[in-house]
Amino acid sequence: MSLNSESFNDYYSHLKDYTQIVKNGNDISLSICIDTVKHQYLCDHVFGGMCFIPATMIMELLMEAALWYTREILKKDDFFPVGLDDINIERALTVAKGEAIQAVINFQKVVDTNGEIAVYFIINSERKSATGEKVGTRINTTAKVILAKEYPATPSVDYSDAFTERYNIPQDVFYREYFPSLGFLFNSCIGKIAFDREQRIFCGVYNCNSKEKEFIKNDTSAFLSSPLGNDSCLQYAVFFSRILALKGRLPIGGRELRMFKKHPVNGEVKVFIKCIHLDDDIMIFDFYSFDETSLIALGKEFKVKKSPYHKELSRQEFELIMNLYKEE
């Protein structure tokens, strides 16, 4: 059975049309084909010649799967995803440009208590030999999706604007010099940044500019979360980790993500980042995004890990371009 009915198409931007429902006794899983032609955002997210499925799109896939399970299996139509816990991306999902990859979303456990539903997941993908022959499966991601009937109450957050350095880097320069692997659809960070190296705090501005409507070919449906909005926060976290330690890194998960309202499809959003741990391999940080009116999302103990795909630069090389746009 595939997710291609009209009702499915109203809710599942990524899963619809390319997903099969697999039943094995009482166990249910979703087998999804991730295709670089249909899911065209992949061609703008390339590292080492391969298309990487962004961490934030994996999170979106899990939220869509959790919503599907809650509506279709539990028959509860008034719940929707408000966050994720214990997101662990053990291995990246990658695919060559022009090709597709098959992945399986396994429902491990569902807990329904105190007005919240928690759905536990494992994502598996095929493991292939050097000749392309399937030789088994491997775990890519584990996580838990939280669903509720309303958004959680907005918490108070500790925000400081006592930044010691401010820059206004033109967007085209920002991506050409610091994120050459990201194409047009992921060029969302504006380059307005401020930070304090001693306090290890950072603030940046981004704008999704309705680009998510172009992520899926011939489809302008809205996502449950904002893969591009959340990715913009992680882009800035990666950039901040290079400011602090020059190491290029990629996201590998986080302890908690909570959403407090729908992310705007257009318009400027700020993200505040607080580094809480930094070593040669990993940076751990909290972040929250907010618009002119209120908090949008909060991430706790997210991680970016040293990546082989970023060019190593000296301090002088890295800051040469930045310093052209420093505000006095």
Q: Which residues are catalytic?
A: 45, 231
Q: How far is CA 16 from the centre of its chain?
A: 19
**Strand ranges, E, within the chain:** 19-24, 27-35, 46-47, 50-52, 80-89, 94-95, 100-113, 116-128, 134-148, 165-168, 189-196, 201-207, 249-259, 268-278, 282-290, 295-306, 326-327
Do 169 and 193 meet the contact criterion of CB atoms below 8 Å apart? yes
**Which helix H or strand E contains 320, and what residues bound it?**
helix 315-323
Q: How many CB atoms lie within 10 A of CB 81?
A: 24
User: What is the rounded CA–CA span in Å between residue 204 and residue 272?
Assistant: 7
271: exposed, middle or buried (C-beta count within 10 Å: 0-12, 13-18, 19+)? Answer: buried
Do 116 and 146 meet the contact criterion of CB atoms below 8 Å apart? yes
Q: How many CB atoms lie within 10 A of CB 276?
A: 12
Structure token pair of residue 59: 């999170």
